[in-house]
Structure formats: C-alpha cells, structure tokens
Amino acid sequence: MTSDLPKTMRAVEISEHGAPEVLRLTERPVPKPGPGEVLIRVAHAGVNRPDAAQRGGTYAPPPGASDLPGLEASGHVAATGESVGEWSVGDAVCALLPGGGYAEYVVCPASHCLPVPTDMSLREAACLPETFFTVWSNVFMRGHLEGGERFLVHGGSSGIGTTAIQLASAFGARVFATAGSAEKCAACEKLGAERAINYREEDFVSILKDEGGADVVLDMVAGDYIARNLKAMAQDARLVIIAFLGGAKAEINFAPMMMNRQTITGSTLRPQSVEAKAKIARELRERVWPLLDAGRVAPVLDSEYDLEAAADAHRRMETSEHIGKISLKVAGG
C-alpha cells in the first residue's frame, strides 16, 4: 500500500570521508520498501556519534544498508511493503534505521518501528530509537541491571547517558554518572542520578568504592577507563562497553577480575540482525514505552538544525558541549 510519492528527495550524503564539511545536500531517488519494510516520510532525524564515525570513514554501513548517514528518525508511514500488517500509511512512527535517516524518505524493517509516545512531538520521538535501543539492550538485556543495584554511566550528559540515567532510575537502581562540568553534573542529577561526578576534578573509582562498588557500568570511553572501571566495581558486577572514545586497547590485571567474579561484555547495535533488533523493539514497547506514554521518561533535547545544516550539527556534537540529543529538521511536525 502506498500514498502518492515523489520520484526524488532531498538527502545529505557523505561526499568523501573527512571533516563535517564533507556532508553535502543532494538529490536521490525515493527508496521503495521491500517485503516486511515500511517507507517513512521523515519529519526529524537524530544525530549520533556513529554518524560522525561513518563520515570519517571508521564505521562503514552494514551490507545492504543505505550509504546515507542517519540511524534514527520520526515521521509518518508513506508506503508499506508486502507482509506488513501492523503499520498503515499515515501512522506516526519513530524507527531505528540501518542508515539513510538524513533524507526526506527512508526505508526500514517494519519491526524496528515504534509508535510515537502519547503527547510527544515528532522532534522528541526522533531522538528515542538509537539511545533507547542501545541502553535497553546493553544495560538491561546484557548487563541485567536490577532495582536496588548501583549503576555507573560514563558520559552522563550525552544522549546515551541521559537516557541511561532516566531508565536506570525508573527501574529502581541507584544511579551514578560522570560528566565534565558542573553544568553537566547538575543536569545528570536533575534526571535522577543521586551523585554526578565531575571527572575533571574527582576520582570516580574512590567514590564508587565508598558506596560499595558499581554493580553495572555502562562505558563509552574504554581505553584506560577499563582498568579503572574494574576497580570501581563490586563483586559479580558487569562492565558493558559500547564505544571506545578513549581507545580500543587496554592493559588490565585479570586476577582481581577473576577473584571478584566480574564480567566484561559489550556490543554494537547497527550490525545486529533484523531479528535481534526486533526483539529489542518488542521489549522496549512492553517495558519502556508505558514510561514514555506516562511522561516519566523523556528524551533530553539539546539543539536542532535544518537538514542542509547537518555539518553544523556534527560540529556541535564533536565539541562535546551538548547536553542530550541533537536533531535535524527534515520536514514539519
């Protein structure tokens, strides 16, 4: 089923690998949904660090994915492929994308779409999928965080961090976060962290040790943070690594880790199978979307740029001065 569609669309492409200025407004054919897929008329798209990594040439799209950047978007279903039963043309959705979000239209598996939460704008909804899929799958499905446990998240003022603080707090964990300024620490505590640690001035290891150690750590820094995380963790604790802004290699002493029965794990979201991401979507809809519908959890919005200003959005992200999510306005809504 389709609505009336144009043949071409505006999109932002990566003209070559490099700095933000390589992002270029272009015109592309409107993609067509295949079996099990939907075509979304994009209203807003989220901006994420993997987009910058792809732009820089260090994070290639998986086979079959669009070469355009953009891993999340919101909008309305414009067409459906065969065997799509849940969604209809006109439905408001937000979706986790394999790529292609920086465009007026994008195709994705129907099973990776979620309804726009009650009373939430499309701009807000566009900033949900990438961080909520990442946090739920890593903190809860992989890290097995439970109520009453101590949870430490690094980069607490980032899109991932602000989401992790809210969800961990909503599910009854004691939340600790690191951030790089007093303003960012205050934002973390406002969202539900009982203690925000300015990593430029304080040692998170000693603070967490005084609290009994973290039971789950969500780390996007890696590098020398890995050994420090292990020292800050309790017995039977879980360290979940999702990025390596501080470096992909580390030297650690395995003896204390073994004595304390600690687990090191991690994941990347984009390369996972359609089925794996559909499972995350189902759990989010069951466990997290009621919190969003009730207004107990919400994305934190930093700034928005027009589609043609995508390079400026990337520059903002790479300053690390933002608190929460950066988005692109593609159409109205």
Q: Tell me: the pLDDT tens digits for 14-49?
A: 999 999 999 999 999 999 999 999 999 999 999 999
332 band by pLDDT with thresholds 50, 70 and 90: low
Q: Please check the confidence at residue 3 and state whether its pLDDT lies above 80.
A: no
Place 4 in a pLDDT band, splitting at 50, 70 and 90.
Answer: confident
Q: Which pLDDT tens digit goes with each residue over 48-104? A: 999 999 999 999 999 999 999 999 999 999 999 999 999 999 999 999 999 999 999
Render pLDDT for 273-318 as a digit per residue (tens, 0 to 9): 999 999 999 999 999 999 999 999 999 999 999 999 999 999 999 9
- Give the span between the Cα atoms of 123 and 301, in whole angstroms: 9
Give me the pLDDT at residue 36, please: 97
**Nearest 5°: phi and psi at 265?**
-145, 180
Pair 139, 164: CB distance under 8 Å: yes
Cα distance between residue 254 and residue 294, in whole Å: 44
Residue 180 has pLDDT above 60, yes or no: yes
Q: How many residues are present in the chain? A: 333
CB-based contact 303:323 (threshold 8 Å): no
What pTM value is reported for the model? 0.96
In terms of DSSP bridges, do strands 150-153 and 113-115 run parallel, antiparallel, or are they unpaired? unpaired
